[in-house]
Structure 1
Amino acid sequence: MKKQLIMEKALELFAKQGIEGTSVQQITEHSNISKGAFYLSFKSKDALVLALIDHFMEKIIADIDLVVSELEHVENPLYKYYYVTFESFLKHSDFVNILLKEQAYSFSEELLMKMHYYDALTEKLILTMIEKIFGNQVQFIKYDLLYCVKTFSRMYSELFLFQKVPMDLDLLSRSLVEKTNLLAKQTSIPFITEELFSMFKKPLQENVTTEQLHELIDKVIPEMDEENIEKESLLLLKKELEVSSMSRAIVKGLIENISHHPQCKWISYLLRRYFGF
């Protein structure tokens, strides 16, 4: 609870005066705690920023991953992707705004690696979506299309965050679907080849251990309501991590059961990666 309080109060200060312009002293005063209490929760201001990045990026990535994992069951998957992406950005606009504005902040190597990690996760999800929707039609231009989709998301987010243009999610999503489809159908001269992409793509370490998953599950279960399908599914998945006894279809179904639960979105994302879905 104390960590959550510090993160909330720090976010308020970062939004007003930037990360670099905010000191630990100001954060402790705004949180009404001592410096000692702050350092019991976070080793430094950079560690606090890392925790904020994890907190919000896990939510954004999990929202997007859920859409990509369900594309086969969605009538207009590209529209759904754009709509949920911008909806998630809006939901966490204070944090996104800070990150975009603080590009000049002298991030440590650890902070930069953290941001590159989530950027690489985003790229992987977009590429998966492109391959699912367009298939062989974009085999030779899929990496160009990846960066077009990624740029659409970033540039339009900046437009709304910095210029305060009202965001009509439906209109924006339909407009970007049209643009993306045109690029997919009309582009004939690729610039980014698979070889070039492999040269500058960011390294991605996604390995998650059973111990890490157990720790996350044990943290979430006490916070969930009394017996319900999500909690029962999570308990069964925890057992499956210990002793594999269920078919892949059942495991996939159990993960789908928890995917929409607000406290389980990141866990469901990690479980899909762990079991190879």
Structure 2
Amino acid sequence: MADERKVQFIETAMKLFAEKGYYSTSIQDIVDAWGISKGAFYHHFSSKEDLMLAIIQHHFEKMMESFTVIPQDSGSEKERFIQQIAAHFANMHEHKEFLQMMMTEQIPKISSDIHLYLLKQRAYIFSWYCDRLIEVYGTEVERYVFDVATMLNGMIRQYMFCFFLQPSKLHAEEVARFLVRRLDAIIASFSHEEAPILNKEMVEPLIEMEEKERCVLQEKISARIAHMQKKILSLSLDKKIQHELHAALDTLEAELMNEESAPREYVVQGILLYIENRHLPLLADDLAALRKDIEQYRKTNNRWERSKWKKH
């Protein structure tokens, strides 16, 4: 199914769930709205639960993009942070029906996969808050960063609810600046004698969840690259080309797995384009799958997400 058509299916189904409720919407309702047969539905999704997971993934990924699309040259780190929070609030209107669905359904109870995905999203956003707070406020906040990230998360969630109820009465940038001024005051109020409430040990489950997913994707990418290298050696190619393709994949793996620095976009994309331009039909599906895995890895890897991966 083409990506554009899949998005159309997801959006149509999401509107049905928002209007009728997840449990009141049948697969027949969905296929009628899509204009396809039930057989075609099961070709694309294994179940209604699988469709709901696809809807949630699609919208969460779109919403999280609002944190990262602000250019690096938009002022100080604090100003960029304000603009990121404002963009997140402004993004509410586009996803109003999705948020309505999330508020009215007991989404985590639909399936264990959905429950796990939502937990991962919470871990991801909490980690992102911690990283950005340290980038904005420096060592001043490090000791209390888990407490401040928790307070920031609570404030943003509540104001998001207010935006949902009264979108015309709130201005995204005004609210973002208001919240960051509150953060300034909170951070300035800490004394050296005051111990933080939350420490690394207490938030370890969230940190471990994100790290575990990253490691699983690393292993998946490494296995994918090894499979492609093995296939390259089996193809009837010039030995020099085989060697160059094999070496290119080695370089790609090293770039992605480097723990010391963020993957460089021009290296990653350059290698993928180099392989693609060889026009090897037997590698086309593997290359497409590798691109998909790398994109997923990018979304779970803070070292890429914060700044160095995005094009500006």
- The structure 2 residue matched to 1:206, chosen from 214, 217, 232, is 214
Deviations 1:47-91 (A, max 9, x none): 001111221222222332455977886561331221122233333
Residue 114 of structure 1 pairs with residue 142 of structure 2: no
- Please tell me the residue identity of whatever aligns with 1:5: Q
Could you say what secondary structure the match of 2:165 adopts? helix
Q: Contact 2:129–2:149 (CA<8 Å) still a contact in 1? A: yes
Question: Taking structure 1 as reference, are residues 69 and 203 closer, same or farther at Cα in structure 2, changes over 3 Å only?
Answer: farther
- Bigger radius of gyration: 2
Root-mean-square deviation (CA), in Å? 3.8
Aligned partner of 1:33 among 15, 18, 36: 36
CA distance in 1, matches of 2:87, 2:223: 28
Conserved 8 A contact 1:117-1:202? no
Q: Aligned partner of 2:214: which letter?
A: E
CA distance in 2, matches of 1:147, 1:69: 25
> 54-63 or 139-148, which moves further after superposition?
54-63
Note the C-alpha offset of 1:104: 6.2
- 3-state DSSP of counterpart to 1:21: coil
Determine the structure 2 residue equivalent to 1:228: none
Output aligned runs, 1:89-104, within 5 Å: 89-103=92-106
Residues 1:212 and 1:89: Cα distance change in structure 2 (over 3 Å): farther
Which residue of the partner structure matches residue 65 of structure 2?
62
Structure 1 residue identity aligned to 2:249: E
- Amino acid of the residue matched to residue 41 of structure 2? F
Structure 1, residues 18-55: CA drift from partner, whole Å, max 9, x if none?
A: 22221211111122221111111111111001111221
Q: 1:252 maps to what in 2? A: 264
Instruction: Give TM-score scaled by structure 1 length.
Output: 0.73
Q: Does 1:52 align with 2:55?
A: yes
Tell me which of 270, 273, 276 is aligned to 2:301: 273
Paired letter, 2:295: I
Q: 1:239 to 1:147 in 2, by over 3 A?
A: farther
- Which range moves more in the overlay, 39-48 or 202-211? 202-211
SS at match of 1:206: helix
Any gaps of 5 or more consecutive residues in structure 1? Answer: 215-237, 259-263
1:101-250 alignment to 2 at 5 Å? 101-103=104-106, 106-164=109-167, 166-188=169-191, 189=194, 190-198=196-204, 203-204=209-210, 205-207=213-215, 208=217, 209-210=220-221, 242-244=249-251
Per-residue CA deviation, residues 119-177 of structure 1 (Å, 9 max, x unaligned), is 21111111110111112111221101111111122111111213555331121111111
Say how many residue pairs are matched. 248
Secondary structure (helix, strand or coil) at the match of 2:97 reads helix
What are the ranges of 5 or more consecutive residues in structure 2 without an aligned counterpart?
226-244, 271-291
- Per the TM alignment, residue 199 of structure 1 is displaced from its structure 2 partner at its CA by 5.1
Cα 1:272–1:13 shift into 2, 3 Å: closer
Q: Which amino acid aligns with 1:206?
A: R
Alignment check: 8 A CA contact 1:117 1:203 kept: yes
Taking only the aligned residue pairs, the percentage that are identical comes to: 20
How far 1:5 moved relative to its partner? 3.2
Q: What is the TM-score normalised by the length of structure 2? A: 0.66
1:244 aligns to what SS in structure 2?
A: helix
